[in-house]
A = this chain, B = another copy of it.
Amino acid sequence: MKLFDGGKAPNPRRVRVFLAEKGIDVPLVPVDMGAMEHRGEAVTSRNPLRRLPVLELDDGTIITESIAICRYFEELQPKPALFGQGAVGKALVEMWQRRMELNLMFCVAQAFRHTHPAMREWEVPQLPEWGEANKPKAVEFLRFLDGELANREFVAGDSYSVADITGMIAVDFMKPARIQVPDEFGNVLRWYRSVASRPSAAA
Residues on A facing B (Cβ under 8 Å): 48-49, 57, 61, 63-65, 67-69, 71-72, 75-76, 86-88, 90-92, 94-95, 98-99, 103, 125, 127, 129-130, 133, 141, 144
Residues of B within 8 A of A99 (CB): 49, 64-65
**Interface pairs (29), CB distance under 8 Å:** A48-B144, A49-B103, A49-B144, A61-B92, A63-B88, A63-B92, A63-B95, A64-B95, A65-B98, A65-B99, A67-B94, A67-B98, A68-B91, A68-B92, A68-B94, A68-B95, A68-B98, A69-B91, A71-B90, A71-B94, A72-B87, A75-B86, A76-B87, A125-B129, A125-B133, A127-B127, A127-B130, A129-B129, A130-B130
In chain B, what residue has the closest Cβ to A64? B95
Cβ contact within 8 Å between A72 and B98 = no
Q: Which of A87, A91, A98 has the largest number of chain B CB atoms within 10 A?
A: A91
With CB as the reference atom, state the residue of chain B lying closest to A110.
B130
Tell me which residues across on chain B come within 8 A of A144, comparing CB atoms: 48-49
Kindly state the separation between the CA atoms of A68 and B57 in the bound complex, as whole angstroms: 27
User: Which residues of B lie under 8 Å from residue A103 when comparing CB positions?
Assistant: 49
Complex Cα gap A22–B68 (Å):
23
Q: Which residues on B sit within 8 Å (CB–CB) of A63?
A: 88, 91-92, 95
| Interchain nearest-CB distance for A87 vs B (Å) | 4
Chain B, residue nearest A98 (CB): B65
A133 to B92, CA, bound (A): 34
With A65-B94, A127-B130 given, name 14 new contacts (CB 8 A).
A48-B144, A49-B141, A57-B88, A64-B99, A65-B95, A65-B99, A68-B91, A68-B94, A68-B98, A71-B94, A72-B87, A72-B88, A72-B91, A127-B133
Which residues of B are found within 8 Å of A91, using beta-carbon distances?
63, 68-69, 71-72, 75
Q: Given A49-B144, A99-B65, A144-B48, A75–B94 Cβ distance below 8 Å?
A: no
CB distance from A125 to the nearest CB of B (A): 6
